[in-house]
Amino acid sequence: MDDSGVSSSRPPDPRNSHHGNSAGLPVPGGRNRRSQACESVRHPLSKGVADRNIVYFDLETQRSFNDVGGYAHKDRMGVSVAVTYSTRRGTYEIYAEKDLHALGEELVRADLVVGWNHLQFDYPVLQPHVFHTLADQTLNLDMMLDLEARLGFRLKLDVVASATLGTGKTAGGLDALRWWQEHQRSGEFEPLGRIAEYCACDVKVTRLVHEHALAHGHLRYEDRNGAIATVEVDWT
């Protein structure tokens, strides 16, 4: 695909990332449906964010809510893999568990961190593993929370991406948990590569949704009646 401003046209190969190399994360032997869906999307915006270092961010956990005793204990969920995309670098970075201090540094140095529910989920999960107080030391746009304030209800990233970009998720958080458990049982790194690819695709879709909003001033979603609705946004 045409991936303007991106060093790779597909979710990043963990072997080409500094942090991915240090973690020894491989790429799965075959491309799955999720990576193909992620590659099928063209960027709606090629310029317009170059003056700022916008960092798009997502992570996957080692444990589920049930494993840690509920939503209130997100800080116990652990991080299997985290991925960022920096508009200044034009590259993805993949972070393994031992690299999370470096992830914290990248987030606090960003001009803006963009995510989907990262303020209420990803940051609390990550916080025990970094030195900085993320909520206080970062500038953020949480697109999910902003849309909730406008609409009065929450939307999943997949719902917005499908209606706005014509693509959606083909894997989910439970898949990432299963791959982590597979890695724990087998000691193989191939399942971590699957998690990295899945997480990188989420970061890419997050970026595409944000760039569409910057370029067009609106996003689309499927409402409760199955109709496509439009919500105006101003995230410039």
SS3 92: strand
How far apart CA 64 and CA 177 sit, in angstroms, is: 7
Q: pTM for this one? A: 0.80
Give residue-wise pLDDT tens across range 155-209.
Answer: 999 999 999 999 866 566 678 888 888 877 898 888 889 999 999 999 999 999 9
* Strands 112-115 and 140-142, sheet pairing: parallel
pLDDT band at residue 26 using 50, 70 and 90 as cut-offs: very low
In sequence order, which ranges of the chain are alpha helices (DSSP H)? 18-23, 33-39, 65-68, 100-109, 123-126, 134-137, 143-151, 157-165, 173-186, 190-216
Which CATH superfamily is 14-232 part of? Answer: Ribonuclease H-like superfamily/Ribonuclease H (3.30.420.10)
The pLDDT score that the predictor gives to residue 176 is 85
Give residue-wise pLDDT tens across range 125-141.
Answer: 999 999 999 999 999 99
- 8-state DSSP, 222: E
The pLDDT score that the predictor gives to residue 20 is 46
**Mean pLDDT, rounded, for 97-106:** 97
How far apart CA 224 and CA 218 sit, in angstroms, is: 19
